[in-house]
A and B are shown apart, each in its own frame.
Chain A
């Protein structure tokens, strides 16, 4: 069953008096528990597409359904509630909250967004800390962690709400190749373990092959779709 259905998706931006078409008639479907990558050069529309899928932005034209929800119909508050329950985010710059420890960063969505009871919070966080290999580091602050460790924490934070979908925009852009590869491996492991759909964007050709399905974007259009080595592994 398709978790995401996009049909003739268009997104226009106005910069001053110039209208820029960032996404131009894109259609695709992404199945549940898949590991998908959007690749393409800078300005090809990867981030815009992820923002639309993540309900952070609304399409100008076309239809987009995420987990059965028509994204266009969500207002600001409904969008926030939908994201909190269905979507996890991993950012290029990790975007951990600097005043919170590793444990508290992972706990944040549970406590400030979903109001999960303390016992259940602890269980979920410890399980994820173990899964991302950060057990024993939970009392450290983000500035005491390496880039790879920060991204591990960000992955745990994205998964802690048990979302159907995790979106990662250039999650390895600020990491060295070895760490980047480890992070992608970790995301893949999490996808296997938690049956969560992972969609990530990248322009790093070396890691893109780890995805099951690879969409190539150019000038706001999908120009290619192929299977990666993640498929069937």
Chain B
């Protein structure tokens, strides 16, 4: 095997200009794919992180049918305390769940005494919410990072539009599920930056204030946001949770709950999928580049070495070994290009990181791009390139191995 590699390396060096051109093509392709994967992956991960860690959580549990009518925030579809208790019991049995936060979601009138508008509010236990959404506090641009009873955190757009500051008193008026209206004065404790996506322009109140405004005798929860210890496991945990919850039936024998991952809850999932699709498309382009360039160079190599092929075949070299000689050449082209591309791509990603490039996403300003590339990506790209290079050299190599020595020796 070592001799096959030795001969292949020497043959590649023999046509050094052509080899360098092909290697450059593969290297540029690999570099481009790696940088794109690093930057787009970083963007995607950052956006998913923003969405899940400051708004949605990784998984949400609702009463069956709630999500379909979530725009109207129906209070009639909230979950009773005994049901919530049951769910909490289930959560405790799943070690992958790090934190959860029950929420009462409702729509209300919001008045600064001089102006009035509509607002969507989340009644939460501040500690549980902060544990479930660790980036929520970073979105609070002014005021306290937490919330106490009698306080409200309002979205930045409201504060700016209605000229409300931290410490001001506002009134929140809401209709409860029976149709009666109730109001409560609250002090603005903080102003939260708006975020792109569902819940990105919601305000926050303490859950007990929400109960009081909605005149709830017992705590009826609209949704429970769940944070997992390992984000990568959200599909597994979601499936596990869905299986457990599917056993919980109502009086009509239908499932009581629905569990959704962030993918189902956020429209950004489609953008994330598009990024993945683009990434696949670019990898396909890389495959095409490697396939065509390696095939081209190997076809040339076989054509130029027909007499040599004839000689080694006449000497008694078996067809399989002749095939291997050319396949090894193609493989070496691929793997060398992949290694060079990985080094160059990683260096570019490192430089991009040093430049600390920032960008805006919706109303979120100054998000810092932190491109990175994992060993899995590097190995995967190297593997793809190597396999494609071998595939690209197979046809010319097969042709070489099938050559009649007598015809090959006659070739001029």
Residues of A within 8 A of B (CB): 51, 54, 56-57, 76-77, 80-85, 87, 89, 91, 93, 95, 97-100, 108-109, 111-113, 157
* B239 CB, nearest partner CB in chain A, Å: 54
> Per a CB cutoff under 8 Å, which of B10, B315, B319 touches A83?
B315
Chain A residues closer than 8 Å to B310, beta-carbon distance: 95
Residue in A85, A93, A98, A100 whose beta carbon sits within 8 Å of that of B316 in the complex: A85
Contact between A56 and B317 (Cβ–Cβ < 8 Å)? Answer: no
Q: Is the CB of A109 within 8 A of B7?
A: no
Bound together, the chains give a CA A61 to CA B39 distance in angstroms of 70
Contacts of A83 in B (CB 8 A): 314-316
For residue B187, CB closer than 8 A to chain A, the reply is no
Interface of A is mostly: helix
- Residue interface bits B296-309, CB-to-A below 8 A is 1, else 0: 00000000000110
Which A residues are CB-close (under 8 A) to B313? 80
Bound: A83/B3 CA distance, A: 21
A contact residues around B406 at 8 Å (CB): 51, 56-57
- Given contacts A108-B312, A112-B321, are A99 and B409 in contact (CB under 8 A)? no
A55 to B401, CA, bound (A): 17
Q: What is the distance, in angstroms, from A50's C-beta to the closest C-beta of chain B?
A: 10
Contact with A along B1-23 (1 / 0, CB 8 A): 00100010011011000000000
Option from A77, A84, A100, A108 in Cβ contact (under 8 Å) with B319: A77
Task: Give CA–CA (A125, B308) in the complex, Å.
Answer: 21
Q: How many angstroms from the CA of A85 to the CA of B307 in the assembled complex?
A: 21
Q: Quote the shortest CB–CB distance from B90 to chain A (angstroms).
A: 66
In the complex, A95→B309 CA distance in Å? 10
A-B pairs, 3 with minimum CB distance:
A84-B316, A99-B10, A95-B311
Majority secondary structure of chain B interface residues (helix, strand, loop or mixed): helix
- Assess whether B314 is in contact with A89, with CB atoms less than 8 Å apart: yes
B405 contacts the other chain (Cβ, under 8 Å)?
yes
A76 near B319 (CB under 8 angstroms)? yes
Output the least CB separation between A74 and chain B (Å).
Answer: 12
Is the CB of B157 closer than 8 A to any CB of chain A? no
Give the CA-CA distance A89 to B310 in the complex, in Å. Answer: 11
Task: Give me 8 other A-B pairs in contact (C-beta within 8 A), A89-B311, A98-B308 excluded.
Answer: A51-B406, A56-B405, A57-B406, A77-B318, A80-B317, A83-B314, A91-B311, A97-B7
Contact present for B319 and A109 (CB under 8 Å): no
Q: Which B residues have a C-beta under 8 Å from some C-beta of A?
A: 3, 7, 10-11, 13-14, 307-308, 310-319, 321, 405-406, 409
Q: Pick the contact of A56 from B10, B312, B314 — CB < 8 Å?
A: B314
One of B10, B14, B316, B318 near A109 (C-beta < 8 A) = B316
B319 contact set on A, CB distance < 8 A:
76-77, 80
CB pair B316–A97 under 8 Å, yes or no, is no
- Inter-chain contacts of A85 with B (CB < 8 A): 316
**Cβ B14 vs Cβ A99 within 8 A:** yes
Q: Please measure, in the bound complex, the distance between the C-alpha atom of A9 and the C-alpha atom of B308, giving whole angstroms.
A: 29
How far does the Cβ of B317 sit from chain A's closest Cβ, in whole Å?
A: 6
Q: What are 30 A-B pairs with beta-carbon distances under 8 A?
A: A54-B314, A56-B314, A57-B406, A80-B313, A81-B316, A81-B318, A83-B315, A83-B316, A84-B315, A87-B316, A89-B311, A89-B314, A89-B315, A91-B311, A93-B307, A95-B308, A95-B311, A97-B7, A97-B311, A98-B308, A99-B7, A99-B13, A108-B312, A108-B315, A111-B3, A112-B317, A112-B321, A113-B315, A113-B317, A113-B321
A97 to B322, CA, bound (A): 14
Q: Which residues of B contact A99 (CB under 8 A)?
A: 7, 10-11, 13-14
Q: For the complex, what is the distance from the CA of A80 to the CA of B405, rounded to whole Å?
A: 10
When distances are taken between beta carbons in the complex, the residues of chain A under 8 Å from B316 are 80-85, 87, 109, 113
Please name the residue on chain A nearest to B9 by beta carbon.
Answer: A99
- Give the distance in Å from the alpha carbon of A226 to the alpha carbon of B3 in the complex: 46
Collect the chain A residues with CB atoms within 8 Å of residue B312's CB. 97, 108, 112
Instruction: Tell me how far the C-beta of B361 lies from the nearest C-beta in chain A, rounded to whole angstroms.
Output: 55
Query: Which residues of chain B come closer than 8 Å to A100, judged between CB atoms?
Result: 7, 10
List residues of chain A with CB within 8 A of the CB of B321. Answer: 112-113
Closest chain-A Cβ to B323's Cβ sits at a distance in Å of 13
Complex: chain B residue closest to A87, CB-CB: B316
A215 → chain B closest CB, angstroms: 21
For the complex, what is the distance from the CA of A51 to the CA of B409, rounded to whole Å?
11
B408 and chain A: residue at smallest CB distance: A56
Query: Is A98 a contact partner of B14 (Cβ separation < 8 A)?
Result: yes
The CA of A56 and the CA of B404, in the complex, are separated in Å by: 8
Distance in angstroms between the alpha carbons of A91 and B405 in the assembled complex: 13
CB-CB under 8 A from B314, the residues of chain A are 54, 56, 83, 89
- Complex: A98 Cα to B11 Cα, angstroms: 9
Task: Write the nearest CB–CB distance from B332 to chain A, whole angstroms.
Answer: 14
> Which single residue of chain B is at the shortest CB-CB distance from A97?
B308
Q: Which residues of the partner chain B approach A84 to less than 8 Å between Cβ atoms?
A: 315-317
List of B residues within 8 angstroms of A54 by Cβ:
314
- Distance in angstroms between the alpha carbons of A98 and B14 in the assembled complex: 9
Docked CA distance A84–B406 (Å): 15
Candidates A80, A89, A98; contact of B318 at CB < 8 Å: A80
In the complex, which residues of chain B have a beta carbon less than 8 angstroms from the beta carbon of A113? 315-318, 321
> Which residues of the partner chain A approach B11 to less than 8 Å between Cβ atoms?
99
Residues in B with CB closer than 8 Å to A82 are 316
- Report chain B residues within 8 Å CB of A97: 7, 308, 311-312
A56 to B409, CA, bound (A): 10
Contact of A95 among B307, B317, B318 (CB under 8 A): B307
CB closest residue in chain A, given B11: A99
Which one of B10, B14, B311 has the greatest number of beta carbons of chain A within 10 Å?
B311
- Least distance between A55 CB and chain B CB atoms (Å): 9
Chain A nearest CB from B387 CB (Å) reads: 25
